[in-house]
Every structure is written in structure tokens, then in C-alpha cells.
Amino acid sequence: MITIPYINGITFAPFAPAGNLEKESARQSLKLMKERTNANLVILVPGGLQDTPQSEQIDYTSDRTMTDSELKQLIEYAHTLGLRVALKPTVNCRNGTWRAHINFFDEDVPCEPKWSKWFPSYMEFQNHYARIAQEMGCEMHIAGCEMVMSERRAEEWRQTITEIRKDFKGFISYNTDKYQEHNVSWWDCVDVISSSGYYPIDDWERQLDRIESVVATYQKPFFFAEAGCMSVVGSKYVPNDWSVRGESDLEGQADWYRVMFRACKRRSWVRGFALWSWTDKLYDESGARKRRDYELYAKPAEKVVSEFYKIDRK
């Protein structure tokens, strides 16, 4: 069985547009992230865009995507800080539809959009960043995130992972969505199983029991490539719902992290987390108590993370 170092990770500035990561403020934010949380790995998320869930072409060259140059510079800087780096190129839809709904007919139909045209564009997108990951010495390439409706296309996903391996020699993972771990049939072709851990504060044990059976079947390392909760009243019960609105609840967010860490600590097969998230544009600490988002900076949850991450779990 493959072994991986324990991941005390955080996702930094996901989907940053061109120009954001080359700023000195972004570098200072990354440095503070390392110092304040004891993180040992950062996930960087170059964004690709397709117009709708039924569009066949993915664009990663517009000004809504970080440039290759600034991405490489930030990877290099992260390494000087002692951070391991994973890349997670992720597709979104310009019209705002969640990427999980990207979908086409199972069989090609004339005049209709097709998997047979979408997957080559997706492979090109992934391979572009796999080459950067290899060039820059990244530890892991995560070949997508929460592409739920596409996951039944096992043959195409196996081909995608095979193509990535031609360019990248480190660990390869795929980040499925919450509640989907048992539905992916092609975990055998990746090195590391990962998923989005947005589970209700009172449901961690049941969900971990379910995921444990998947890990036992495939005998692969596992980590949560995303996990987080907003600092908003009620978010700890539906942490996957970013649309929850209400009063700020910093302690509720901190409690959610405590419960998650406590539950996962008892499961030796959980090899870490990449928490969502840390911004490249830090806000004033005094304003943290008013925020109602997933950010960790200057909130009680940051201290919970720091305490858990300071322990070297190997």
C-alpha cells in the first residue's frame, strides 16, 4: 500500500484570477498562513471555465485564470517556506452552475454536446498543469474536484489519469464530493483517494464509517482535499451549503473543526486535510468577528487548526 506523509494542509486563494498571486500581499498572506496555522502543505487551484454544464470546451487562458508565471513563482515561494505543494486544476461554469452538474448523454447523439469532445478538452487542461506540477516539484496532482455527474464515465477517467502520469511522476489523486466516496469505481487507478469533507457536526462518525469501507476495499491512502465550515449560524449542520445566511457564529465554526479533528484523529487511515480556505487578500483582524464565510484568518477556528496542525503525525 502506498504511504503518504500526513497532510496538514490549507487551500490558498482558490480560483485566483490573473495578477492576484504575483502581488506581494499574496506572498505575505501565504507566509502568515504557514506561521499561524502550522500548515505543511498548500493546495493551489488554477481555474478552468466552460460556459455552461453542456459546453465542450474548457478555457484556462483568460484573465479569470492565474497565469502560469505567477503560479510557478508562488509554488517556488511556498517551497522556500517549507510547504509542500499540490495542484488541483478545477473546472467551473461561467453561468454559475456548480461543476458537479457538468453532464452529457451517455451515448453520442448527432447535433448534441458530447463526452467524446469534452473529455479531450478536460485532459488538455489537466495535462497543462500536470507538466507545471512536475517542473516545479509539486508533491501531488489532484485531477479534478467534485465532478459528480462525470464520475460514472470510468473509462474516460482512467484514460485521463493515464495521460496525467505521462507528465507527472508524483502522487495523483482525485477529489470527489461529499457523500460520493463509495460511488467512484475507479479509485484503483489513482494513488490517493480524496474527498470534500463537508459533513454535519453531528454526523462525522457515521460518514467516517462509510468512507472507511471504501478505503479498506481499495487499500489506498485517504485525505480530505477540502473540508470547512462557515462562521455563520447554522453552517455547522450544513457546512456544504455556502448559501446559508444569518448572524456571525465564530464559535460554531470553531466547534465544527474541533469535532471533525476529534473524530478523524481516531481513524488512522485519515491522512490529513486541506482546509477551505485562506485568502490572498487578508482582511483586518478586527473585522474577523463580523465575517460569515469559510475563511480561517483571525477567527477562533484558526487557533483550533493551529493546535491540531502543530503536532507532527508523520
State how far the Cα of 119 lies from the Cα of 107, in Å rounded to an integer: 14
Is 224 among the domain residues? yes
pLDDT tens digits for range 87-121: 999 999 999 999 999 999 999 999 999 999 999 99
pLDDT tens digits for range 130-153: 999 999 999 999 999 999 999 999
The CB density around residue 247, as the number of other CB atoms within 10 Å, is: 11
Is 2 among the domain residues? no
Say how many domains are in the chain.
Answer: 1
pLDDT tens digits for range 285-297: 988 889 999 999 9
pLDDT tens digits for range 187-215: 999 999 999 999 999 999 999 999 999 99
pLDDT tens digits for range 35-69: 999 999 999 999 999 999 999 999 999 999 999 99
Q: Is-contact 128 168, C-beta < 8 A?
A: no
Is 314 among the domain residues? no
Is 16 among the domain residues? yes
Instruction: Tell me the three-class secondary structure of the chain, residue by residue.
Output: CCCCCCEEEEEECCCCCCCCCCCHHHHHHHHHHHHHHCCCEEEECCEEEECCCCCCCCECCCCCCCCHHHHHHHHHHHHHCCCEEEECCEEEECCCCCHHHCCCCCCCCCCCCCHHHHHHHHHHHHHHHHHHHHHCCCCEEEEEECCHHHCCCHHHHHHHHHHHHHHCCCEEEEEECCCCHHHCCCHHHCCEEEEECCCCCCCHHHHHHHHHHHHHHHCCCEEEEECCCCCECCHHHCCCCCCCCCCECHHHHHHHHHHHHHHHHCCCCEEEEEEEEECCCCCCHHHHHHCCCCCCCCCHHHHHHHHHHCCCCC
Predicted pLDDT at 312: 86
Residue 159: which pLDDT band, with cuts at 50, 70 and 90? very high
Predicted pLDDT at 289: 87
Is 168 among the domain residues? yes
Predicted pLDDT at 287: 87
Predicted pLDDT at 89: 98
Residue 251's domain comprises 7-309
Instruction: Provide the CATH number for the domain around residue 34.
Output: 3.20.20.80
The answer to whether residue 1 scores a pLDDT higher than 80 is no
Is 291 among the domain residues? yes
Of residues 310 and 314, which shows the higher confidence score?
A: 310
Residue 9: which pLDDT band, with cuts at 50, 70 and 90? very high
Predicted pLDDT at 244: 93
Is 256 among the domain residues? yes
Residue 214 CB contacts under 8 Å (≥ 6 apart), including other chains: 181, 182, 187, 193, 222
pLDDT tens digits for range 299-311: 999 999 999 999 9
Predicted pLDDT at 314: 78
Is 1 among the domain residues? no
> Rounded mean pLDDT of 165-181?
98
| pTM exceeds 0.85 for this model | yes
